[in-house]
Structure 1
Amino acid sequence: MNERIPTSQDGESVADGKLLYLAAFSNDPDGGNPAGVWIGKTLPSDKEMQRIAAEVGYSETAFVVPVNERELTIRFFSPESEVTFCGHATIATGVALGKMHGDGIYRLGTLVGEVLVDVVTRDGVCEASLTSVKPDFELANTELVSEVLPLLGWMTTDLDRSIPPARSFAGAWHLVIAVAEAERLADLHYDFEGLKSLMLREGLTTLQLVWREDAGTFRSRNPFPVGGIVEDPATGAAAAALGGYLREAKLLSAPSTILIKQGDEIGRPSRLTVQIPASGGIIVKGTAVSICAR
């Protein structure tokens, strides 16, 4: 991952906009998931946005232009391709907008629909909560699971049978695979090119690999080879998709709240709070902090 650092918290001028660098789902710039947030008056061309995202090198860079102060258009690019929705870059964007324009609700127009972001500042800490589009899921077929597991170096005996493998959606499609033991999740070495090819074929953005620590806590790891990233330190879109799957498959009682711990194994600890209402979009909450010269 490219650890490019800006010269100031005000951001740098890039393509007639300001490019900010933030770490989402952490209060520590050395934790969380880094995101670029480009804010300008008019979106650059797709080619230029892709170029900027590749140069930034983070798993996603958000490109944001205002319709008005509280309504904006947003698009997301990984270093290799556009992504329909990105949760951690949305949280980073919400915090950036809150610092610019104050607390309140911002309406972000994404490729998959409107996402509301509620920004609240408490004791000087800015927190953003996104509400996803309506989630969906389908249980993964046996053939897909049989293809994926060898690429991860896992076996069917490693799986947690209480959470069957599933394709889940809350703005982007993810494959949820739950394991029964923490040690299995901790030992992650996968076939990058093989998994990338399968995910592109299946229209998957990340794999949401989880272990249920207790009733309200999950540990997660998220391979993201289709974006050119080995592993995502915090994946808000996958967190929302997991929450939607758990509710829609009746694997928990809603309303409910779960905590997802992610990024510890790769040195960027992240904490994602997922609120699962009885119906509607899934709410993912977190902080973000500027990454600046040290």
Structure 2
Amino acid sequence: MDTSTTQILRYTAFTTDPSGGNPAGVVLDAAELDDDAMLTIAADLGYSETAFVTARDERRRRFTVRYFSPLAEVPFCGHATVAAAVALAEGLGAGPLVFDTPVGEVPVDTGAGADGAVVATLTSVPTSSRPAEAVELDTALAALGWRHEDLDPALPPRVAFGGVHHLVLAAATRGRLADLDYDFDALAEVMRRAGWTTVQLVWRESPDLFHARDPFPVGGVVEDPATGAAAAALGGYLRDLGLVSEPTVVAVRQGEDMGRPSALTVAVGPDDARVRVSGHAVPLPA
């Protein structure tokens, strides 16, 4: 299929600075594109994900959205959701949107932030988590080049879900998080077998501030500068561990070690399985 006339927008999410955040492609009219065409566009862009709006009801502000990495379709992507929501809000005006995604309905609120730039808040599908099994943990640590002693014992390894699955590993020190040099092919194989979209590596600076890095080799990308779906999963992880006793807002700083700083805001409550992830998105220069 000829995609030469397809309008492809480029945004970077979870930042107000085009030099930061996580770039995403956005195609607002993908109704005529087949799977191969969408994968070709995503691969040509080379961003970790591209969002494709395949059906739209502007009166109800409801849209069907699919996501592709350079290698395959992805069931859900947080940063591309934020990017697509901001792009739609810039055309339709701020307000609530609803995205019908492969993992279910995802409401997204859009409005002006304190600096005037559009901010989007997605509400995840219900989150969940479970303890990581010994074998999957050991193989993941081996591929990362980490040891069990590198982990924070107060934040146990778990597989968390916020639309897609992520292995959450908490580093004991900021230095351990900063020193990321992993076996790309080995970790990709571990993740494919386990069905994980990213491995979310975090370090807790304080109860309401986390630093994160997310290897994404199964998508053909070494590392994500900002991962909204993983941030939602992290919120559910904190709730399941009993670390959230009242409605709480947690800041996640990501991309700092890559030179693309990103800011994600995660709102989680003790009795609500859905997590709200907020951030800006701005167009990238042509």
**Shorter-chain TM band:** over 0.9
1:66 Cα deviation after fit: 3.7
What is the SS of the residue equivalent to 2:100? strand
| Correspondence for 2:44 | 55
Match of 1:84 among 58, 75, 84: 75
Which segment drifts farther, 80-89 or 66-75?
66-75
Match of 2:218 among 222, 226, 233: 226
1:90-239 correspondence runs (5 A): 90-122=81-113, 123-239=115-231
Amino acid paired to 1:180: A
Q: Does 1:281 align with 2:270?
A: no
1:16 Cα deviation after fit: 5.5
Percent pairwise identity: 50
Give yes or no for contact 2:76–2:163 (8 Å, CA) kept in 1: yes
| Correspondence for 1:8 | none
Give yes or no for contact 1:43–1:64 (8 Å, CA) kept in 2: no
Q: Does 1:290 align with 2:274?
A: no
1:41 Cα deviation after fit: 5.7
Deviation per CA, 1:85-109, whole angstroms, max 9, x where unpaired?
A: 0000000011101100011110000
Q: 1:184 to 1:80 in 2, by over 3 A?
A: same
| Correspondence for 2:16 | 27
Give yes or no for contact 2:3–2:37 (8 Å, CA) kept in 1: no
Which segment drifts farther, 237-246 or 120-129?
120-129
Give the TM-score normalised by the residue count of structure 1: 0.93
Give yes or no for contact 1:151–1:195 (8 Å, CA) kept in 2: yes
Aligned length: 281
Deviation per CA, 1:193-212, whole angstroms, max 9, x where unpaired?
A: 00001100100000000000
User: For the residues of structure 1 that align with 2:30 and 2:37, how far apart are their CA atoms?
Assistant: 15
Match of 2:233 among 241, 255, 263: 241
User: For the residues of structure 2 that align with 1:79 and 1:254, how far apart are their CA atoms?
Assistant: 39
User: For the residues of structure 2 that align with 1:253 and 1:225, how far apart are their CA atoms?
Assistant: 35
Deviation per CA, 1:19-43, whole angstroms, max 9, x where unpaired?
A: 1000000011110000000111615
User: For the residues of structure 2 that align with 1:164 and 1:145, how far apart are their CA atoms?
Assistant: 11
1:14 Cα deviation after fit: 4.5
1:255 Cα deviation after fit: 1.2
1:143 Cα deviation after fit: 1.2
User: For the residues of structure 1 that align with 2:163 and 2:4, how far apart are their CA atoms?
Assistant: 27
User: For the residues of structure 2 that align with 1:126 and 1:247, how far apart are their CA atoms?
Assistant: 28
Aligned-CA RMSD value: 1.3
User: For the residues of structure 2 that align with 1:128 and 1:43, how far apart are their CA atoms?
Assistant: 27
What is the SS of the residue equivalent to 1:189? coil
Amino acid paired to 2:106: V
Give yes or no for contact 1:24–1:88 (8 Å, CA) kept in 2: yes
Give yes or no for contact 2:244–2:268 (8 Å, CA) kept in 1: no
User: For the residues of structure 1 that align with 2:188 and 2:32, how far apart are their CA atoms?
Assistant: 29
User: For the residues of structure 2 that align with 1:153 and 1:201, how far apart are their CA atoms?
Assistant: 19
Q: Which runs of 4+ in 1 moved over 3 A?
A: 13-17
| Correspondence for 1:74 | 65
Give yes or no for contact 1:19–1:37 (8 Å, CA) kept in 2: yes
Q: 1:41 to 1:144 in 2, by over 3 A?
A: closer
User: For the residues of structure 2 that align with 1:78 and 1:253, how far apart are their CA atoms?
Assistant: 36
| Correspondence for 2:242 | 250
Q: 1:279 to 1:43 in 2, by over 3 A?
A: farther
Give yes or no for contact 1:16–1:40 (8 Å, CA) kept in 2: no
Which segment drifts farther, 273-282 or 194-203?
273-282
